[in-house]
Amino acid sequence: TPGEANWDVSVDDKETLPSEMILLTAYPNPFNPTFDATFEIPYSGFVKLTVLNVLGQEEETLVDGFREVGRHSVEWQADRQSSGVYFLVLVYESGDLYEIDVLKLALLK
């Protein structure tokens, strides 16, 4: 418009990193016999992702080690488990940051 300042508008297309550890999803839920879990971490660090039964017993460890910053996915095959409720537990450690996230899952056969 004449007489008014023109502003330059730009878009920063850098990938944004998650500000905190997020257990995004386990899909599908309920599941039979597999699901995919996806999580994001804001900094490289130690990740342990386990599946527990309702008694708190570990059914399987899906991830146990160092992971780089960003999004990660893992699949669980529950062919040998019985129908019921399970818990997906994500433990994340990076420097002084320590977080735990839990997601309830239902296996229907």
Amino acid at site 75: E
> In this predicted model, what pLDDT tens digit does every residue of 21-62 receive, in sequence order?
676 679 999 999 999 999 999 899 999 999 999 999 999 999
Residue 1 lies in a domain: no
> In this predicted model, what pLDDT tens digit does every residue of 60-83 receive, in sequence order?
999 999 999 999 999 999 999 999
CA dist 88 and 105 (Å) reads: 7
pLDDT at 16: 60
The number of folded domains in the chain is: 1
Residue 14 lies in a domain: no
* Range of the structural domain that residue 92 is part of: 22-107
> Can you tell me whether residue 3 is helix, strand or coil?
coil
Amino acid at site 93: E
Residue 88: CATH number of its domain: 2.60.40.2550
Residue 76 lies in a domain: yes
| Sign of the dihedral through C-alpha 77, 62, 15, 92 | positive
| Angle, vertex CA 71, rays to CA 20 and CA 25, nearest 5 | 80
Higher per-residue pLDDT: 4 or 26: 26
Structure tokens at 21: 């550890």
The pTM for the full model equals 0.79
Residue 94 lies in a domain: yes
